[in-house]
A and B are shown apart, each in its own frame.
Chain A
Amino acid sequence: MSSLEIHGLKKRFSKEAGFFAHYGDFVYAVNDVSFSIGEGETYGLVGESGCGKTTTARLLVRMYEADEGTISFGGTDVRALAGKELSAYRERVKYVFQDPARSLNPRMSVADVLLSGYRWSTKWGGKRDARDAAARIMEEVGLSAGDLDRRPTEFSGGQRQRISIARALLLEPELLICDEVVSALDVSIQGQILNLLLDLREARGLSMLFIAHDLKVASYFCDRIGVMYGGEMMEEAPARELYRDARHPYSRLLFASVAGVGNADPIIAGVREEPGRGVAIGCPFAPRCPLAEPRCRASKPEYRDLGEGHRVRCFLA
């Protein structure tokens, strides 16, 4: 088992593309993000759409290439991997997508879906072996070996997400990246999948990167949580108490907005709705922040350690 450490990760996308584009006009999807996931730890990334949490996860598996920063997994420099070493890395770090209806090829049988990647992996030991492994993993995620010959479309959303998880686990990864794995599911099914992930985590000692926009789910499921906004990490803290201890104005807003909390944090009233996008200097939340001072717009705050694993990136918190 290895731990993942990323430092100063940046990814920019050109605003325009094509023949007549002005290259050099960039938007930062991920800007200076650093965190680490220890062995067996579950780290949560939360934030609203467009905050860069999915891009960060995709940089980790090299689906996109980072522009700056370091990613190290068990001491190896992930950004420098190529060829067989990259394949081996991707067997150790697996990605589970949000919507199983879209991430499982609808025209293949479940067995083909599970084994399509296995076939090209270093663990391939012949068809019969693979089929046995697939049958075992299906039992492990609560389906039966007999389901292998059915098609993904014959299953319900929750069962399909189980297949998705089975596919990722087949190569016995050390780190599982779960990108909004329960948000496409009905409430009554979400609990089943979360419990399944908990069991697997215990049984296999998995580390996880858990991406979610549902703060209640993230607070329940993770050990530590990083709150992202505008491509940057705003605050990082132990998951369980963050809903009470949030220090950054954005985190406070986020937690106070959750329905059914009845949290009357005065910060909600002052927040402007316009999204503060394209901020090259200063805190990305400053244009919306009711507490913002001139220095928030002029320079970026650094991480400040508040003790007990609580870090915040705000001048005022």
Chain B
Amino acid sequence: MGIASVAILCVLYLAMAMAEFVAPYPQTMTFEGKTFNPPNVRVTSSGIRVQETRVVNSVTWKYVRIKDSYSPVRFFAKGVPYRLWGIVPCDRHLFATADGGYPVFLMGTDSLGRDLFSRIVYGSRISLTIGFIATAIALLLAVVFGGLAGYFGGAADWGIMRFSEFFMLIPGLYLILFLRSLLGSSMDSGQSYMTITLILSLVGWPGMARTIRGLVHSIKREEFVLNARLERVPSLVIIFRHIIPQMASLLIVSVALSVPGFIMSETTLSYLGVGIVDPAVSWGSLIKRDISTVYNLKNYPWLLTPVWLLLATTLAFNFLGDALRDFLDPYHVVFPRRFLFGKRKGKVPEAQPAGEPALEPAASVCASTSGEYMDISSENFLSVRDLRVSFGAVRAVRGVSFALARGEILGIVGESGSGKSVTTSAIPGLLPSNASVSGSVNLEGMELLGLGPLALRAYRGKRIGMVFQEPGRSYDPLQTMESAFLETFRNTDPRISREESARRATALLEEVGLSNARERLSGFPHQFSGGQLQRIGIALALAQGCDLLIADEPTTALDVTIQAQIVALLREIRDTRKISIIFISHNIDLVADISDRIMVMYGGLVMESGKAADVIASPIHPYTKALLGAAPQFGSHRSIARLASIPGRVPDPSSPEPGCPFAPRCGLAERRCAEAIPVLRPRDSGPPESGALRCVLEREEAR
């Protein structure tokens, strides 16, 4: 759609720019006795021809075609001499009939016998440019006034906004009619063009200015603006160099969408006879009131051609605006952009990239390792095997296996992009639709991967509860806690009464340690602190009696004192309810504190796993060691020792390393580390529950 629109607009604007060349005749050239001549171009077997017509009734202007009387249409034919763009003298036209031949009327003629096609082409010069010029003036005013009002605020804001409201109050049409009658009809076409443009832009700028003001107002709180202000960059430079460019995408879209508006306004004015007047011509003046009577339109339908063109232009601009918005702001795409990304996807080989096949034996070892886990966990509550998740070319999870016993807390540690959140979102099937998932997620003997949304509903919430990072964002701000609980209870028990729901909610809130639970049920989310909201979040997750709780960075947004309380609460719930918990965090100390077992992830792979105390006390994998050493500990001070910092940067999941993802940053890396992903193997020669390790180095070597 967008590309077709661009093509249409290009053709129209090209024709406009080359008007004298494209139009076969000057706009004012009258053909005597050829009023309302119908379109006469025919495609015949011997090429494009003009068929001669003759008037049969000079009152109603009825024409008949004359059989076999054709004149050939010649391209680049000689015609009326003109100066292209007022400079280059020329006498060629895009097409015309030979001298003495019957004149070519591609779209017929009008009431004065003038070629309609030529007039449309000339008219486009006004119709198509007026939109741009008016938009440019309006945009300039809007950026200046909106920018100043938004940035300075206070009195400047008040003054400018009242000033713009004054313009918004004026009904545009009346203003134009008034100005036209004031200035009289003595204006030539150039003057009236300028007047109309100015009036349109004066009426049009306040709306844009208000939008820009709002945006500037919010952008000026951004830290880069604060930074520039601290650096004493002058205010005008901040507004026009730092703030306005941030809105470029929005401005482009709003220009594309307001141009047709201005074109339509000009058409309306000209239609009413107060816009462009003869001898100048615009599309509006071509469909003037006195021309488009019902009688005329019935007998000479070609007079409506400018209307279709107008429609096409307006639609083209709107589609172009939409396409631009989708391109600049991918969050609002209605249809997925297969057109652009289909090709790129094709380039990514479906076969696994080099180094990946080496993972196959690893996967089988994984299975056997998790088999050993199954021995420990008598019930084998949850087992995830060889889970792989990719989003197009981004390989977020590359083969993760683990098992979880009933009543166990598993901690997953990793930095951004390690795949820890994607792994756990895959368990209840909460990944976006563009994710491709393979592997196996087995909850008490039931395979969850590949279940339809309806079947999954029996698990989400009811068996598997989730607690998210930002408690402030997980609630509907207009919903009281009571109704949030009611909704949740209705999920399992559709006929639960309000009283019963409130009673059960109170009990749950007391269980998670919220005081005054009964009274606070009627509170809205903003009336609670972050820690309280996170407690309520845990209560809601427990409301349907889940036996697996997935907590994705539940304490990251909380203060450290509250964090300790939430961690204590989760442990307590595990003890009282005997549920299993997967706790995800980037903070290895925190994970070690709460978990029975921990799993360290990096680059979409498990690096090391094992009993929390073992892994923390004697880490083997260089990454685990680096992670433990990177954060300073109490008692260490910069005056004693430098931090053991890890060089390099976290891996990019869209272009994974062929070998161990940590190899580029690892001080002990050998050549084989970069060549293939090491096999996941038992962490120790000791009992199997001591965990798994993905490193080629032995314990002694890794020291």
Task: Using CB atoms and an 8 Å cutoff, list the residues of chain A in contact with chain B.
Answer: 48-49, 61, 63, 86-87, 90, 94-95, 97-99, 102-108, 116-121, 156, 158-159, 167, 186-192, 194-195, 198, 213, 215-217, 219-221, 239-240, 243-244, 253-261, 268, 271, 273-275
Contacts and interface: CB of A to CB of B under 8 A. Distances in A.
Contact of A198 (B231, B242, B642, B644): B642
Given A117-B233, A257-B560, 6 more contacts: A117-B227, A121-B232, A259-B563, A259-B592, A260-B589, A275-B529
A102 B562 contact: no
User: Which residue among B224, B226, B532, B630 has the maximum number of chain A CB atoms within 10 Å of its CB?
Assistant: B224
B632 interface: yes
A257 B586 contact: no
A97 B223 contact: yes
B635 A259 contact: no
A187 B224 contact: no
B230 A90 contact: yes
Interface of B: 222-224, 226-234, 237, 241-242, 245-246, 248, 415-416, 513, 529, 531-532, 559-565, 567, 586-590, 592-593, 616, 626-627, 630-639, 642-647, 649-650, 665
A259 B561 contact: no
A156 B531 contact: no
A106 B415 CA distance: 24
B643 A191 contact: yes
Given A97-B223, A191-B630, A259 B645 contact: no
A252 to B, nearest CB: 11
A95 B227 contact: yes
Given A117-B232, A260-B592, A191 B646 contact: yes
8 contacts: A95-B230, A99-B223, A120-B233, A120-B234, A215-B560, A220-B638, A254-B561, A260-B616
A244 B636 CA distance: 12
Contact of B223 (A102, A258, A260): A102
A257 B227 contact: no
A259 B587 contact: yes
A118 to B, nearest CB: 8
A186 B531 CA distance: 24
A219 B632 contact: yes
A48 B638 contact: no
B627 to A, nearest CB: 6
B561 A216 contact: no
A274 B638 CA distance: 36
Contacts of B559: 48-49, 213
A44 to B, nearest CB: 12
A187 B637 contact: no
Contact of B643 (A63, A118, A220): A220
Nearest to A84: B232
Contacts of B649: 156, 158-159, 189
B632 to A, nearest CB: 3
B227 A103 contact: yes
Contacts of B630: 187-188, 190-191
A273 B562 contact: yes
Nearest to B226: A63
Contact of B650 (A186, A243, A259): A186
Given A99-B223, A192-B646, A260 B590 contact: yes
Contacts of A216: 631-634
A186 B586 contact: yes
Contacts of B567: 259
